[in-house]
């Protein structure tokens, strides 16, 4: 289990993390989301003692990270996959890391197999592609067979097969009862992988919620197709009802259920060719949730040469 308790971190006048509290529980994949500058990376650094908090604290399996005698066996972390000496082989890198905890060659070879690097285990890391380096970083996180795994953007550089592999790996780790905490900007992957979400913005907690609940809470309407659009609009209009015409006899209706729409159309004798509830995507739900928490916002206007 990972516990974050009233965590605050200031860098001079800048508050990167502001009174943040949440718990990451074992047995589920928890996604860690937030816009750029939201404080995600700072929170992860504070979790493993790479920075000291201004106030508050964090615990891994009941203790601060620094109080664990063998932290690699408690929590495996991927923060920067390329933080490896380029002249060292993948196998030698894992052996060096393992030596700090009495982890030998047998476990190193097991991990190389798990992350798919057995065939290139003796190749210098400086020759690795981005995806291969990412697999090595994940291997370091798994080396101690830890009870908790924290991965920051684990699919960076991975090909489609690698993305599918990490997706199954994370779910398998959670199924074994481990704590799995994953930071990512890829909403499509979070939708397929995560069970629960912790969302932050401007250093503060925005949401701590199951994925399904967040999506369900996002207001979406009903798509209706009819040859008598204007007649349908007339019978559906009212307080709290929003109707958007999409052309071709199709409208989106917010504020009425499929039952309400179908009943009103039936009474008015209006034929309906489609009546489909619209379900929000995780990306849409996330965008709506963090609309006011985006610190760095670009423009869609073309920049003149």
**Domain containing 240 — which CATH number?**
3.30.70
Which pLDDT value is given to residue 286?
Answer: 80
CATH of the domain at 42: 3.40.50.300
* 165 and 41 both lie in a single domain: yes
Are residue 141 and residue 171 in the same domain, yes or no?
Answer: yes
Q: How far apart are CA 10 and CA 114, in angstroms?
A: 39
Q: Is residue 295 part of a domain?
A: no
From first to last of the 305 residues of the chain, give the pLDDT tens digit. Answer: 999 999 999 999 999 999 999 999 999 999 999 988 889 999 999 999 999 999 999 999 999 999 999 999 999 999 987 788 889 999 999 999 999 999 999 999 999 999 999 999 999 999 999 999 999 999 999 999 999 999 999 988 889 999 999 999 999 999 999 999 999 888 888 889 999 999 999 999 999 999 988 887 776 789 999 999 999 999 999 888 989 999 999 999 988 989 999 999 999 999 999 999 887 788 878 888 777 766 655 555 555 54
- Do both 161 and 260 map to the same domain? no
Same domain, 108 and 211: yes
Contacts of 111 (CB under 8 A, 6+ apart): 94, 139, 142, 143
- Answer for the pair 235, 271: CB distance below 8 angstroms, yes or no: no
Alpha carbon distances (Å) from 114 to 27, 119, 142, 143, 165: 20, 12, 9, 10, 10
Phi, psi of 299, deg, nearest 5:
-125, 150
Residue 67 covered by a domain? yes
**Do 206 and 247 share a domain, yes or no?**
no
What is the three-state SS of the chain? CEEEEEEEEEECCEEEEEEEEEEECCCCEEEEECCCCCCHHHHHHHHCCCCCCCEEEEEECCECHHHCCCHHHHEEEECCCCCCCCCCEHHHHHHHHHHCCCCCHHHHHHHHHHCCCHHHCCCEHHHCCHHHHHHHHHHHHHCCCCCEEEEECCCCCCCHHHHHHHHHHHHHHHHCCCEEEEECCCHHHHHHHCCEEEEEECCEEEEEEEHHHHHHHCCCCEEEECCCHHHHHHHHCCCCCEEEEEECCEEEEECCCHHHHHHHHHHHCCCCCEEEECCCCHHHHHHHHCHHHCCCCCCCCCCCC
Judge if 35 and 66 occupy the same domain: yes
Structural domains in the chain (count)? 2
Measured distance CA(220)–CA(244) in Å, rounded? 12
The verdict on 161 and 243 lying in the same domain is no
Report the pLDDT value the prediction gives residue 301, as an integer from 0 to 100. 55
Residue 285 domain flag: no
Do residues 116 and 177 both lie within one domain?
yes
Contact in structure between 178 and 26 (CB atoms under 8 Å): yes
In a domain, 232, yes or no: yes
Query: In which domain, by residue range, is 10 found?
Result: 2-216
The reply to whether 136 and 259 lie within a common domain is no
Q: Are 133 and 115 in contact (CB under 8 A)?
A: no
Alpha-carbon gap, residue 65 to 189, rounded angstroms:
28
Q: What is the pTM of this model?
A: 0.82
pLDDT number for residue 118:
95
Burial classification of residue 124, based on how many CB atoms lie within 10 Å of its CB (0-12 exposed, 13-18 middle, 19 or more buried): middle
Burial class (CB in 10 A: 0-12, 13-18, 19+), 292: exposed
Which residues lie across from 77 on neighbouring strands? Answer: 150
Q: What distance in Å separates the CA atoms of residue 275 and residue 278, rounded to the nearest whole number?
A: 10
| Chain centroid offset of residue 192 CA | 10
């Amino acid at each position: 289990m990972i516990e974050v308790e009233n965590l605050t971190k200031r860098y001079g006048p800048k508050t990167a993390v502001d009174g943040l509290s949440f718990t990451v529980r074992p047995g589920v994949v928890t996604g860690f989301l937030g816009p750029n500058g939201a404080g995600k990376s700072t929170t992860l650094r504070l979790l493993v003692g790479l920075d000291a908090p201004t106030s508050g604290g964090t615990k891994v399996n009941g203790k601060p990270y620094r109080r664990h005698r063998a932290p690699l066996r408690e929590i495996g972390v991927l923060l920067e996959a390329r933080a490896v000496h380029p002249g060292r082989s993948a196998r030698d890198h894992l052996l060096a890391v393992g030596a700090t905890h009495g982890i030998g060659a047998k476990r190193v070879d097991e991990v190389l197999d798990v992350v798919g690097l057995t065939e290139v285990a003796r190749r210098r890391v400086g020759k690795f592609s981005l995806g291969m380096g990412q697999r090595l970083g994940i291997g370091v996180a798994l080396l101690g067979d830890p009870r908790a795994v924290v991965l920051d953007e684990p699919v960076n550089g991975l090909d489609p097969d690698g993305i599918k592999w990490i997706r199954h790996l994370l779910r398998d780790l959670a199924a074994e009862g481990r704590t799995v905490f994953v930071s990512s900007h890829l909403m499509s992957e979070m939708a397929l992988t995560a069970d629960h979400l912790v969302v932050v913005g401007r250093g503060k907690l925005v949401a701590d919620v199951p994925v399904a609940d967040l999506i369900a809470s996002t207001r979406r309407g009903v798509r209706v197709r009819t040859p008598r659009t204007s007649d349908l609009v007339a019978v559906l209009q009212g307080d709290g009802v929003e109707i958007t015409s999409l052309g071709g006899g199709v409208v989106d209706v917010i504020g009425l259920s499929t039952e309400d729409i179908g009943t009103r159309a039936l009474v008015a004798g209006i034929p309906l060719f489609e009546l489909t509830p619209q379900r929000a995507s995780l990306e849409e739900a996330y965008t709506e949730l963090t609309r006011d928490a985006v610190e760095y916002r670009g423009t869609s206007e073309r920049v003149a040469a």
